[in-house]
């Protein structure tokens, strides 16, 4: 009887041990599977975020109109040209032409700073704001409740003037990119005749903030 009991008991122990190993394997495989799935999701998210970095929600309008881009609104009041820009104690010249976009901006409730502007030409070229002089509407806090005035300044060849648009957007985060950033594209109203006038008769010197 004792021997029979030992024979019956021994396989039982072996089965229980085998069961523990099987359960452990299932748990390990499950954990590994979840980790791999999470990694795949993370990689997919990173890839989507990288693709979305250049995406924009574009709101279009024209000079004299309020262009509401959701997080901010901007209005271009006028354009002018100059051979030189006076900043503080120096005068900055150009061998091209300075295009000065007189504008103002506001926000509905959350303050933000506008990024450096871009000039989009009729043939698809893009010019960043001048790196010689600061655009006074770039980098300053735009507050809700009132319109903040200033200028965007571009240094461009004269063939970039006709049909040009100002592209204005908020500054992105320094820590992470923001997909689907809003931007306002404002037609500056520069037809061929206006382009010729701006090119042929620029102001000798333009001083930002100076009343005309």
Distinct helix (H) and strand (E) counts, the chain: 2, 11
DSSP 31-74: HHHHHHHHHHHHHHHHHHHHHHTT-EEEEEEETTSEEE-SS-EE
Q: Which residue has the higher pLDDT, 83 or 50?
A: 83
**pLDDT tens figures, 3-54:** 434 343 444 444 444 444 455 555 555 545 554 544 443 444 344 445 555 6
Compute the distance between CA of residue 1 and CA of residue 51 in angstroms, rounded to an integer. 75
**pLDDT tens figures, 149-182:** 999 999 999 999 999 999 999 997 544 456 688 9
Q: Which residue has the higher pLDDT, 84 or 56?
A: 84
Residue 113, CB-side half-sphere exposure with 13 Å CA sphere: 12
Q: What local confidence, expressed as pLDDT, does residue 179 receive?
A: 67
pLDDT, average across residues 75-94: 94
């Amino acid at each position: 009887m004792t021997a029979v009991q030992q024979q019956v008991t021994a396989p039982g122990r072996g089965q229980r041990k085998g069961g523990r190993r099987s359960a452990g394997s299932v748990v390990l495989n499950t954990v590994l599977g979840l980790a791999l799935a999470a990694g795949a999701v993370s990689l997919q998210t990173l890839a989507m975020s990288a693709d979305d970095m250049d995406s924009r929600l574009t709101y279009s309008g024209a000079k004299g109109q309020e262009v509401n881009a959701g997080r901010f609104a901007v209005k271009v009041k006028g354009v002018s040209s100059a051979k030189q820009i006076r900043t503080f104690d120096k005068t900055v010249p150009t061998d091209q032409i300075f295009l000065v976009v007189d504008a103002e901006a506001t926000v509905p409730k959350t303050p933000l700073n506008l990024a450096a502007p871009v000039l989009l030409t009729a043939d698809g070229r893009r010019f960043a704001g001048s790196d010689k002089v600061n655009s006074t509407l770039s980098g300053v806090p735009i507050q809700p409740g009132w319109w903040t005035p200033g200028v965007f300044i571009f240094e461009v060849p004269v063939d970039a003037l006709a049909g040009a648009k100002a592209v204005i957007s908020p500054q992105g985060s320094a820590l992470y990119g923001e997909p689907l950033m809003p931007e306002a594209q404002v037609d500056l109203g520069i037809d061929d005749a206006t382009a010729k006038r701006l090119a042929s008769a620029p102001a000798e010197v333009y001083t930002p903030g100076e009343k005309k």
